Chains A and B, each alone.
Chain A
Amino acid sequence: METNLGTIALTALLLVAGAACLRGAAAAETRTALHDPLATLQEKTDEVGRPVLTAFAAYDHAKIRKAIAALEARAGTDAAHDLDRYVIAQGYAEVATIRRYYEKHDEDAMPAALEALYADDIAEKGLAQAAAFAERHPEHSDIWRVTAELKASQIRGMTSGFTRGPEALEAITKAQELDPENGWALFAQGRMHYHNPAIAGGDKDLALRELRRVVKSIENWRVFHYLSLTYDAKDMLPQAWFWAQKASGAAPENPEVALHLREVREKREEER
């Protein structure tokens, strides 16, 4: 009986490995060009909303929050733009990311303005804006990517992971169904595969393939940074070092990128 159970377990493992191989091969064969909806948004929004898109590389939360406040203030007035809620939701997703960085890596340096905001409240405000935008534009792919990022930002351990994780995945799937060439949706999926534990669908190999595909079309500091993180996790240090430097060059004021650059440099020095 024990032998049979062991054999069944081994067979199951091999089938899972085989499926992963086939999935990898299928992913490698997909080579359509992706596009960058955030670059489009940066062009289409006005000078009030644009800082939301331009201040993120430096993690300038004050500038992002100021822009969000200005956009919220003009909601319901004649000055409001159709894209405002999308921009605001994106802004809250960025603030959540910045707050998470301080919370995880540099709590003592957390700016008071960010500390005063509850992480869950940031996400809820963003989700409300995203839902309102999606109601008017149900076929808009990228608003579902923003929704996924906001829901993922609410994951704070196993319990929230079991509820918010599937919700985030559902939103990413919807974003990709609506627009299979949405580069940021594939990035969000790669991020999820990077961060999630294996038991919750995490897969660093898959994350790497997804990010490599994104970077062919979107040359952005965040894509470079996640490529470096993924290579680092796979102990491919020369590649991690190259992409960490690329990220640092594209976002020289970003503290998270700078921290990772230092970590990879130290690992390389230890290895020598």
Chain B
Amino acid sequence: MTARTHSQHRARRARGVALALAFAALATGCTSFARLEANDPAVGEEEVFAAGEPGDTEHLANLHHVLSHRADYEPEVVAAALASVGEIGDPSSVPYAAALSRDDDEEIRWHVAAALRQLGGADADAVLVRMADEDDSDLVRSEATR
């Protein structure tokens, strides 16, 4: 083997190591939707929020999973899921959001109101009217009436 081929071989091997490390980084879920897609309760709020692109339903089932397993997730993750389903705007999300309209956490109820306003429709409106009327929090009532 010439010096040049040795050098090329070393470079190829180093690139292989780098690629393996890149794969490992992706596998940790820090740079992908891996945790959201695995319905992993340790998913970060940023990952959940990033899944909320208007009209993009790719992660909708995972977002609905977060909303229907409220107790398994941190409140900020549930709030991010509500923001995402609101942004995606698919009407199938209305019952999932509405189910959290009496949650103990003000932040979650506020995001429910914001999401239902974005989602719209008769069912969402009915929940918003009740929230505007009954919720204990000024912030939530205000978001539900806007």
Residues of A within 8 A of B (CB): 3-4, 7-8, 10-11, 14-15, 17-18, 20-22, 24-25, 28, 205, 208, 212, 234, 236, 238-239, 242, 245-246, 249
Contacts and interface: CB of A to CB of B under 8 A. Distances in A.
Nearest to B17: A11
Given A17-B25, A24-B44, A236 B49 contact: yes
A20 B49 contact: no
A14 B22 contact: yes
B142 to A, nearest CB: 8
B46 A17 contact: no
Interface of A, secondary structure class, is helix
Interface of B: 10-11, 14-15, 17-18, 21-22, 24-25, 28-31, 42, 44-46, 49, 74, 76, 79-80, 83, 86, 107, 110-111, 114, 138-139
Contact of A11 (B18, B29, B44, B80): B18
Contact of B25 (A8, A14, A245): A14
10 contacts: A11-B14, A11-B21, A14-B21, A17-B31, A21-B28, A212-B76, A238-B111, A239-B79, A239-B83, A242-B110
Contacts of B44: 24, 28
A21 B14 contact: no
Given A3-B11, A236-B49, A242-B111, A15 B83 contact: no
A22 B45 CA distance: 16
